[in-house]
Amino acid sequence: MNRTMRALLAVAATTAVIALAGCVADTSASPTSGGSAAAGTAACGLGNGQKATGTPIKVVAIATESGGVDFSSSPNSAKAYFDCINDNGGI
């Protein structure tokens, strides 16, 4: 594997980790007693149920599709996440 491919793979892996970290639910709530956890709902944005207002922030994605590596669906995942944020009040 050449140096360029390793660098590209490192960038793609870092991007995936950051994207997944943004999707993790907040676990700061106090635990429930009795040994069973209550099911929570994941929220994005302000969670007020109103569409975002103001000037939009543009996000650009570059996805790799070559050899045995295919990240071409990553921009779709990012778009879905940011659509959720915008539909719930933005940031």
- The 10s digit of each residue's pLDDT in 7-58 is 888 888 888 777 767 766 555 655 555 555 555 666 777 877 788 888 888 8
pLDDT, residue 59, reads 86
pLDDT for residue 72 is more than 70: yes
pLDDT, residue 68, reads 85
CB burial readout 25-34, b (16+ within 10 A) else e: eeeeeeeeee
pLDDT, residue 42, reads 66
Read off the pLDDT band of 90 (50, 70, 90). confident
